[in-house]
Amino acid sequence: MRDYKLVVLGAGGVGKSCLTVQFVQGVYLDTYDPTIEDSYRKTIEIDNKMISLEILDTAGVAQFTAMRELYIKSGMGFLLVYSVTDRQSLQELMDLREQVLRIKDMDRVPMVLVGNKADLTEERAISVEEGIEVSSNWGKVPFYETSALLRSNVDEVFIDLVRQIIRNELEAVSAPATPKAQTKSEAPVQDRSAGQSKNVPSAAKAKQQPAKAAATRSRNPPSTETKKKSKKRGPCRIL
Protein backbone atom coordinates (compact mmCIF):
# COMPACT_ATOMS: atom_id res chain seq x y z
CA MET A 1 0.00 0.00 0.00
CA ARG A 2 1.42 3.34 -1.10
CA ASP A 3 1.63 6.28 1.31
CA TYR A 4 -0.38 9.44 0.73
CA LYS A 5 1.75 12.28 2.02
CA LEU A 6 -0.22 15.07 3.65
CA VAL A 7 1.36 18.25 4.99
CA VAL A 8 -0.20 20.52 7.62
CA LEU A 9 0.85 24.14 7.16
CA GLY A 10 0.05 27.38 8.95
CA ALA A 11 1.33 30.00 11.35
CA GLY A 12 2.53 29.20 14.86
CA GLY A 13 -0.14 28.35 17.43
CA VAL A 14 -3.12 28.00 15.06
CA GLY A 15 -3.71 24.41 16.11
CA LYS A 16 -1.97 22.29 13.47
CA SER A 17 -0.67 19.80 16.02
CA CYS A 18 -3.99 19.66 17.88
CA LEU A 19 -5.89 18.95 14.64
CA THR A 20 -3.39 16.30 13.59
CA VAL A 21 -3.31 14.56 16.95
CA GLN A 22 -7.12 14.67 17.18
CA PHE A 23 -7.35 13.05 13.77
CA VAL A 24 -4.65 10.44 14.33
CA GLN A 25 -5.05 9.63 18.02
CA GLY A 26 -8.43 11.07 19.00
CA VAL A 27 -7.04 13.16 21.84
CA TYR A 28 -6.84 16.91 22.42
CA LEU A 29 -3.54 18.51 23.39
CA ASP A 30 -4.21 21.27 25.88
CA THR A 31 -0.70 22.65 26.28
CA TYR A 32 1.17 24.54 23.60
CA ASP A 33 4.47 22.96 22.65
CA PRO A 34 5.77 24.57 19.41
CA THR A 35 6.49 21.90 16.84
CA ILE A 36 9.79 21.48 15.05
CA GLU A 37 8.48 18.68 12.84
CA ASP A 38 6.42 15.60 13.65
CA SER A 39 5.41 12.78 11.40
CA TYR A 40 2.35 10.59 11.96
CA ARG A 41 1.00 7.51 10.23
CA LYS A 42 -2.56 6.40 9.94
CA THR A 43 -4.43 3.85 7.89
CA ILE A 44 -7.92 4.83 6.89
CA GLU A 45 -10.69 3.41 4.77
CA ILE A 46 -12.15 5.91 2.36
CA ASP A 47 -14.70 5.01 -0.30
CA ASN A 48 -13.97 1.29 0.21
CA LYS A 49 -10.24 1.76 -0.27
CA MET A 50 -7.59 1.29 2.41
CA ILE A 51 -5.36 4.32 2.37
CA SER A 52 -2.09 4.69 4.22
CA LEU A 53 -1.43 8.25 5.29
CA GLU A 54 1.79 9.91 6.29
CA ILE A 55 0.98 13.25 7.89
CA LEU A 56 3.67 15.84 8.41
CA ASP A 57 2.87 18.31 11.18
CA THR A 58 5.11 21.25 10.42
CA ALA A 59 6.52 24.19 12.34
CA GLY A 60 4.64 27.44 12.26
CA VAL A 61 7.23 29.29 14.26
CA ALA A 62 9.67 30.98 11.86
CA GLN A 63 12.94 29.66 13.25
CA PHE A 64 11.88 26.06 12.55
CA THR A 65 10.70 26.47 8.95
CA ALA A 66 13.98 25.78 7.09
CA MET A 67 12.76 22.42 5.75
CA ARG A 68 9.64 23.87 4.20
CA GLU A 69 10.69 23.65 0.56
CA LEU A 70 11.65 20.00 0.93
CA TYR A 71 8.44 18.85 2.53
CA ILE A 72 6.29 20.86 0.14
CA LYS A 73 8.08 19.09 -2.72
CA SER A 74 7.28 15.67 -1.34
CA GLY A 75 3.77 16.50 -0.09
CA MET A 76 0.76 15.37 -2.15
CA GLY A 77 -1.89 17.42 -0.35
CA PHE A 78 -1.86 20.38 2.00
CA LEU A 79 -4.00 21.52 4.91
CA LEU A 80 -3.64 25.29 5.16
CA VAL A 81 -4.65 26.18 8.69
CA TYR A 82 -5.36 29.57 10.23
CA SER A 83 -7.00 30.44 13.52
CA VAL A 84 -10.33 32.31 13.38
CA THR A 85 -9.01 34.29 16.37
CA ASP A 86 -5.87 35.48 14.61
CA ARG A 87 -6.06 37.68 11.52
CA GLN A 88 -2.33 37.55 10.94
CA SER A 89 -2.51 33.76 10.65
CA LEU A 90 -4.86 34.06 7.65
CA GLN A 91 -2.52 36.60 6.08
CA GLU A 92 0.39 34.19 6.46
CA LEU A 93 -1.54 31.53 4.53
CA MET A 94 -1.49 33.70 1.40
CA ASP A 95 2.29 33.40 1.19
CA LEU A 96 2.22 29.74 2.13
CA ARG A 97 -0.23 28.93 -0.66
CA GLU A 98 1.91 30.85 -3.17
CA GLN A 99 4.92 28.88 -1.98
CA VAL A 100 3.10 25.57 -2.44
CA LEU A 101 1.95 26.46 -5.98
CA ARG A 102 5.40 27.72 -6.93
CA ILE A 103 7.28 24.72 -5.56
CA LYS A 104 4.84 22.20 -7.02
CA ASP A 105 4.75 24.25 -10.25
CA MET A 106 1.02 23.68 -10.60
CA ASP A 107 -1.98 26.00 -10.74
CA ARG A 108 -3.96 23.61 -8.65
CA VAL A 109 -2.71 21.37 -5.88
CA PRO A 110 -4.88 19.27 -3.50
CA MET A 111 -5.51 21.67 -0.66
CA VAL A 112 -8.03 22.48 2.08
CA LEU A 113 -8.44 25.84 3.77
CA VAL A 114 -9.04 25.35 7.50
CA GLY A 115 -10.22 27.99 9.99
CA ASN A 116 -9.49 26.39 13.37
CA LYS A 117 -10.56 27.34 16.94
CA ALA A 118 -14.15 27.92 15.81
CA ASP A 119 -15.22 27.18 19.40
CA LEU A 120 -13.67 30.46 20.57
CA THR A 121 -16.69 32.55 19.62
CA GLU A 122 -15.81 35.47 21.91
CA GLU A 123 -12.33 35.81 20.45
CA ARG A 124 -13.30 35.39 16.82
CA ALA A 125 -11.57 37.90 14.54
CA ILE A 126 -12.34 36.31 11.16
CA SER A 127 -15.90 35.61 10.03
CA VAL A 128 -17.11 32.53 8.20
CA GLU A 129 -17.87 34.78 5.22
CA GLU A 130 -14.27 35.91 5.06
CA GLY A 131 -13.09 32.32 5.00
CA ILE A 132 -15.52 31.59 2.17
CA GLU A 133 -14.22 34.60 0.28
CA VAL A 134 -10.62 33.43 0.56
CA SER A 135 -11.67 29.99 -0.61
CA SER A 136 -13.38 31.57 -3.66
CA ASN A 137 -10.33 33.67 -4.42
CA TRP A 138 -8.27 30.51 -4.30
CA GLY A 139 -10.44 28.86 -6.97
CA LYS A 140 -13.01 27.35 -4.61
CA VAL A 141 -10.54 25.46 -2.48
CA PRO A 142 -12.66 23.47 -0.01
CA PHE A 143 -13.08 25.43 3.20
CA TYR A 144 -14.01 24.23 6.66
CA GLU A 145 -14.09 25.77 10.06
CA THR A 146 -12.88 23.31 12.66
CA SER A 147 -12.42 22.93 16.36
CA ALA A 148 -9.71 20.57 17.45
CA LEU A 149 -11.01 21.04 20.97
CA LEU A 150 -14.54 19.89 20.11
CA ARG A 151 -13.35 17.49 17.40
CA SER A 152 -15.55 19.34 14.96
CA ASN A 153 -14.84 18.80 11.24
CA VAL A 154 -11.48 17.25 12.08
CA ASP A 155 -11.92 13.99 10.14
CA GLU A 156 -13.67 15.89 7.36
CA VAL A 157 -10.72 18.11 6.45
CA PHE A 158 -8.30 15.20 6.18
CA ILE A 159 -10.74 13.02 4.27
CA ASP A 160 -11.56 15.83 1.85
CA LEU A 161 -7.86 16.26 1.17
CA VAL A 162 -7.33 12.56 0.50
CA ARG A 163 -10.33 12.50 -1.84
CA GLN A 164 -8.85 15.41 -3.79
CA ILE A 165 -5.55 13.55 -4.16
CA ILE A 166 -7.33 10.41 -5.35
CA ARG A 167 -9.44 12.43 -7.79
CA ASN A 168 -6.33 14.16 -9.14
CA GLU A 169 -4.62 10.85 -9.67
CA LEU A 170 -7.61 9.42 -11.52
CA GLU A 171 -7.72 12.51 -13.72
CA ALA A 172 -3.99 12.25 -14.36
CA VAL A 173 -4.43 8.65 -15.54
CA SER A 174 -7.27 9.52 -17.91
CA ALA A 175 -5.64 12.76 -19.13
CA PRO A 176 -2.05 13.25 -18.02
CA ALA A 177 -1.72 16.73 -16.56
CA THR A 178 1.04 19.10 -17.54
CA PRO A 179 2.38 21.47 -14.92
CA LYS A 180 0.33 24.66 -14.61
CA ALA A 181 -2.34 23.17 -16.86
CA GLN A 182 -4.47 21.22 -14.46
CA THR A 183 -8.11 22.05 -14.63
CA LYS A 184 -10.85 20.62 -12.51
CA SER A 185 -10.38 19.56 -8.97
CA GLU A 186 -13.54 21.13 -7.72
CA ALA A 187 -14.72 20.00 -4.35
CA PRO A 188 -17.51 21.16 -2.09
CA VAL A 189 -16.96 24.33 -0.17
CA GLN A 190 -18.10 23.13 3.19
CA ASP A 191 -17.89 24.88 6.44
CA ARG A 192 -19.03 24.17 9.93
CA SER A 193 -18.61 26.34 12.93
CA ALA A 194 -20.18 26.05 16.32
CA GLY A 195 -23.68 27.50 16.33
CA GLN A 196 -23.77 28.71 12.73
CA SER A 197 -25.95 27.44 9.96
CA LYS A 198 -26.05 28.85 6.53
CA ASN A 199 -25.90 27.93 2.84
CA VAL A 200 -23.20 29.10 0.48
CA PRO A 201 -22.76 28.76 -3.30
CA SER A 202 -21.74 25.37 -4.43
CA ALA A 203 -18.79 23.79 -6.14
CA ALA A 204 -18.96 20.22 -7.44
CA LYS A 205 -20.52 17.43 -5.42
CA ALA A 206 -18.29 14.84 -3.79
CA LYS A 207 -19.57 11.37 -3.10
CA GLN A 208 -19.38 10.56 0.58
CA GLN A 209 -18.87 7.07 1.83
CA PRO A 210 -18.00 5.63 5.18
CA ALA A 211 -14.49 6.28 6.34
CA LYS A 212 -12.81 4.35 9.09
CA ALA A 213 -9.34 4.54 10.41
CA ALA A 214 -6.60 3.04 12.51
CA ALA A 215 -3.95 5.37 13.78
CA THR A 216 -0.29 5.47 14.61
CA ARG A 217 2.17 8.19 15.39
CA SER A 218 5.73 7.61 14.29
CA ARG A 219 7.11 8.30 17.75
CA ASN A 220 4.34 6.54 19.68
CA PRO A 221 2.38 3.34 19.18
CA PRO A 222 -1.22 3.42 17.94
CA SER A 223 -3.51 4.83 20.54
CA THR A 224 -6.97 5.05 19.01
CA GLU A 225 -9.16 3.66 16.36
CA THR A 226 -11.92 5.77 14.91
CA LYS A 227 -14.82 4.85 12.73
CA LYS A 228 -17.01 7.33 10.96
CA LYS A 229 -20.51 6.75 9.70
CA SER A 230 -21.52 7.73 6.18
CA LYS A 231 -22.78 11.28 6.13
CA LYS A 232 -24.90 12.59 3.31
CA ARG A 233 -23.55 15.88 2.10
CA GLY A 234 -25.24 18.38 -0.16
CA PRO A 235 -23.25 20.12 -2.83
CA CYS A 236 -22.34 22.81 -0.38
CA ARG A 237 -23.43 23.69 3.10
CA ILE A 238 -22.45 25.05 6.41
CA LEU A 239 -23.45 22.81 9.26
Ligand X SMILES: Nc1nc2c(ncn2[C@@H]2O[C@H](COP(=O)(O)OP(=O)(O)OP(=O)(O)O)[C@@H](O)[C@H]2O)c(=O)[nH]1
Q: Using CB under 6 A, which of the segments 55-63, 72-80, 127-135, 229-237 binds ligand X?
A: 55-63
Based on CB atoms, which residue is closest to ligand X, 29 or 103? Answer: 29
Tell me if 79 contacts ligand X by CB under 6 A.
Answer: no
Site stretch for Mg ion (CB under 5 A), options 14-22, 48-56, 92-100, 118-126: 14-22
Per rule CB under 6 A, is residue 9 in the interface with ligand X? no
34 binds ligand X (CB under 6 A): yes
67 part of the interface to ligand X, by CB under 6 A: no
Residue of the chain from 6, 7, 9, 17 that contacts ligand X (CB under 6 A): 17
Closest to Mg ion by CB, 219 vs 229, is 219
Per rule CB under 6 A, is residue 42 in the interface with ligand X? no
Q: Is 234 in the site for ligand X (CB under 6 A)?
A: no
- For the chain, the DSSP string reads -PEEEEEEEESTTSSHHHHHHHHHHS----S----SEEEEEEEEEETTEEEEEEEEEE--SGGG-TTHHHHHHH-SEEEEEEETT-HHHHHHHHHHHHHHHHHHT-S---EEEEEE-TT-GGG--S-HHHHHHHHHHTTS--EEE-BTTTTBSHHHHHHHHHHHHHHHHHHHHHSPPPTT----------B--TT--B------------EEEEEEESSS----EEEE------SS-B-
Which residues of the chain form contacts with Mg ion (CB under 5 A)?
A: 16-17, 35
